[in-house]
């Protein structure tokens, strides 16, 4: 280790050469914060991260990283002190803490009222249903009997969701009968809250990202198609191959949701495209996996757009740079050593855009993604899937 | 300042979560190193920087920054210890130190023999002339009489250059008569070495970037046109609007230069397009100002390409993403506060790509650049110039 190692940066200077340029603090040190760092660099703003561990994905690459807990008000308060705006790489910060910080003068974007819609599915459904925005039929349920009553009206199977804590398919179950509902709900922690939804028949799962700034400017990205497996997003095709009027309806719905929940920053609205049109499935209030294609494939990527939105800067052009972009997640496989595979993939496909998150490989864990862009969708799908499969060891040639 | 401030990273872990992924060390903490950081993040490799000052452009954003001097062998040695490959954001490292480090087992790319061609214009001209590669007529000169003798053969005015230390037009003078040559050369430090060149009549100044890896794979970028003012690159148009056969000749010449000087990494070959075809003006062995458009405008940007080349990874696709890209440098103006102007520019042009370097504004200093892409070159030129002019205060509406 060199003798002249740089002293740790401090809040008054690091990443903020020019005092007039603001600093954004992002709570959470995952890959979303990691991929926000380049956007902050280009904008010339300060960027700091609150990470749980110094080896977190973003902590590895952001000098102004503070190690602390997003569940500690003291840590949040200390972190916020060096920031002009507080924002998030995940939705797990207790909103009561955010309200306290706001009362103390911290600028929190998105705000707690909006964030609750991404934290709590009952709150989200209530808010959207009240505003008349298209959702699947749903009901809050207390016990398996409520689920049966809902199914008697809407038919089996139904989807039972925990109101909070769901992520990458966790907390969401397709339930075919009363006894399944009973088993599921009995396993839960006391006090867990639930909702039940009709199982929607859909032609496609799509996602629409909207950026919205404090004074209400909004910019919408092209509708993308997402392919899920085991509740985890596996690939994204931009744009979704939809009839123009359906795509426009999906974008309009996303813009209405953004306004209704009064989000500031990026909002991803995951939707089902049904015979009745698009209906809202889930919300995420941050850059999102279904927007990773924008790093390589759009004029303004979702990470820069999020920063611009939370800083109340004018929003950037959301246009795509190529007719098609395909993003495929790289999930950890059985091979812990990824570098040789990565070299092979680069040799195989010079147009491949590889993004690694600096995360230890564990089976099923998102450790990176690849993007390819061009004119021929089928070719792109083959190239993207080959690379992702090769990187995690599913494909060996 | 928060109590839980992260400890400084150390070489064994920072930016290098996965031990199998290599670490590249870049000597120099300027904007080129700063813009290399995002490429290193995406590749998932480790990236460390040797910066002269903790407030240097790259030091602000790279956690694994070491403060030290590129002119100290001890600092270079300590820095190199944590790196798998040593590379450069400038060409000012003494080559004798690099030879010492190589003898000690450090991997240096580009190597000192190649770097000398970017450090010393006499060495470069000798090497290229010997290989029969097109250069302006030139001669090494010891005194003003030698300049006069050269001018008697090639005509006045001539260009007198110091062999070393030139940068952004410094060290290069157009000389019209013997007394000017005398004045110029008398001011120089004792031992300064000089060359004289014919003043080339050119139709365009262009630049061609080549990436070359240790086993000789080479990838060439589209030829771009650069517009210089007072010896400083002001704007770049990609591609240069040249007849196809001239563009191909320029790319071929750049590839020949790369092979001849045995560069590893990025090489920018600045050329004059004359009635006889392209001739070599200057070389730079690193990512280069004339390649900044590739961040937004090419499949693989020059910074990632440099990392891939020095790591001997397969090189990426150099294709442009739009018919035209225009990059305009933002030079420091009279306005030290840039944020309000920057906000205005974003509002004015949502397609504008802004890149700030985190540098204190000083008149004439490169503090950032803007890029715009599209179909209509005239429109792009107007937009790029407007934004750069507005940012430095030359334009106020």
pLDDT at A1: 32
A283 and A183 Cβ atoms separated by less than 8 Å: no
pLDDT score recorded for residue B23? 97
Instruction: Say what the pLDDT of residue B189 is.
Output: 78
The mean of the pLDDT values for chain B is 92
- In Å, how far is A79's CA from the nearest CA of chain B? 6
Gap between the Cα atoms of A129 and A124, Å rounded: 8
Assess A55–B contact: CB distance below 8 Å, yes or no. Answer: yes
Confidence of residue B10 (pLDDT cuts 50, 70, 90): very low
Instruction: Name the percent of chain A in helix, strand, coil, to the closest 5.
Output: 30, 25, 40
pLDDT of the residue at A168 = 59
CATH label, B23-108, candidates 3.40.50.150, 3.30.390.10, 3.40.50.20, 1.10.3720.10? 3.40.50.20
Residue B5 clears pLDDT 80, i.e. is over it: no
What is the rounded distance in angstroms from the CA atom of residue B15 to the CA atom of residue B40? 9
User: From A53, which residue of chain B is nearest by alpha-carbon distance?
Assistant: B6
**How far does B179 lie from chain A, in Å, by closest CA?**
45
Is the pLDDT confidence value at A22 over 60? yes
- Percent of the residues in chain B that have a pLDDT greater than 90, as a whole number: 83
Reported as a single tens digit per residue, the pLDDT across B196-246 is 999 999 999 999 999 999 998 999 999 999 998 887 889 999 999 999 999
pLDDT of residue B380: 98
Q: Do A5 and B66 touch (CB under 8 A)?
A: yes
Q: Minimal Cα distance from A217: which residue of B?
A: B347
Find residues 277-306 of chain B whose CB sits inside 8 Å of chain A.
Answer: 295-296, 299-300
Q: How far apart are CA A151 and CA A383, in angstroms?
A: 42
Q: Which of B4, B13, B357 sits opposite A68 (nearest CB)?
A: B4
| Tokens of residue A333, six digits | 């496989």
| Per-residue pLDDT tens over the stretch A315-338 | 999 999 999 999 999 998 877 778
Domain extent listing, chain B: 23-108, 137-198, 204-391
Nearest Cα to Cα of residue B53 among A82, A66, A17: A17
Paired tokens of A310? 């939370």
Inform me whether the pLDDT recorded for B168 exceeds 70. no
pLDDT band at B167 (very low <50, low <70, confident <90, very high): low
Q: What is the mean pLDDT of residues A143-149?
A: 96
Q: Which residues of B touch A296 (CB under 8 A)?
A: 299
Quick one: closest CA in B to A34, which residue?
Answer: B41
H and E: helices and strands count for chain A: 12, 17
User: Does residue B109 sit in helix, strand or coil?
Assistant: coil
DSSP B31: H
Interface test with A, best of B33, B42, B80, B361 (most A CBs within 10 A): B42
- Binned at pLDDT 50, 70 and 90, residue A159 comes out as very high
Lookup result for tokens 């004029």: A299
- Give the architecture-level CATH label for domain B137-198: 2-Layer Sandwich (3.30)
B314 touches chain A (CB under 8 A): yes
Of B299, B322, B358, the CB nearest to A17: B358
Superfamily of domain B204-391, CATH level 4:
ATP-grasp fold, B domain (3.30.470.20)
- Shortest CA gap A300–chain B (Å): 8
ipTM score of complex: 0.93
Torsion sign over Cα A385, A390, A393, A397: positive
pTM of the model: 0.94
Retrieve residue B255's tokens: 């590839």
């Amino acid at each position: 280790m060199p003798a002249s190692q740089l002293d740790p940066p401090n809040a008054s200077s690091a990443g903020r050469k020019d005092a007039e340029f603001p600093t954004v603090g992002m709570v959470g040190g995952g890959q979303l914060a990691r991929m926000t760092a380049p956007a902050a660099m280009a904008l010339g703003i300060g960027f700091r991260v609150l990470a749980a561990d110094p080896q977190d994905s973003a902590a590895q690459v952001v000098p102004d990283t503070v190690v602390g807990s997003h569940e500690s008000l003291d840590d949040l308060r200390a972190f916020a002190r060096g920031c002009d705006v507080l924002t998030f790489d995940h939705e797990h910060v207790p909103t009561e803490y955010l309200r306290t910080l706001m009362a103390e003068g911290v600028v929190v974007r998105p705000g707690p009222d909006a964030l609750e819609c991404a934290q709590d599915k009952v709150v989200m459904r209530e808010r959207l249903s009240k505003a008349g925005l298209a959702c699947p039929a749903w009901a809050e349920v207390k016990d398996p009997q409520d689920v049966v009553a809902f199914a008697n009206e809407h038919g089996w199977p139904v989807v039972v969701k925990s109101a909070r804590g769901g992520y990458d398919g966790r907390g969401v179950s397709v339930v075919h009968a009363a006894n399944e509902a009973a088993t599921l709900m009995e396993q839960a922690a006391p006090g867990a809250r639930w909702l039940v939804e009709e199982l929607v028949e859909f032609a496609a799962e799509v996602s629409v990202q909207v950026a919205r700034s404090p004074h209400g400017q909004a910019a919408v990205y092209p509708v993308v198609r997402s392919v899920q497996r085991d509740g985890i997003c596996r690939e994204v095709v931009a744009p979704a191959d939809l009839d123009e009027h359906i795509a426009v309806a999906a974008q309009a719905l996303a813009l209405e949701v953004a306004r209704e929940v009064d989000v500031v920053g990026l909002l991803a609205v995951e939707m089902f495209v049904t015979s009745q049109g698009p209906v809202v499935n889930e919300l995420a209030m941050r850059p999102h996996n279904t927007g990773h294609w924008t790093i390589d494939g759009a004029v303004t990527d979702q990470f820069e757009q999020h920063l611009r939105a939370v800083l109340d800067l004018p929003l950037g052009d959301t246009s795509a740079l190529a007719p098609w972009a395909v993003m495929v997640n790289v999930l950890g496989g059985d091979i812990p050593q990824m570098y040789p595979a990565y070299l092979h993939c680069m040799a195989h496909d010079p147009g491949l855009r590889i993004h690694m998150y600096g995360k230890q490989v564990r089976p099923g864990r998102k450790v990176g993604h690849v993007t390819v862009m061009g004119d021929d969708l089928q070719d792109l799908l083959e190239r993207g899937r080959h690379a992702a499969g090769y990187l995690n060891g599913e494909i060996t040639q």
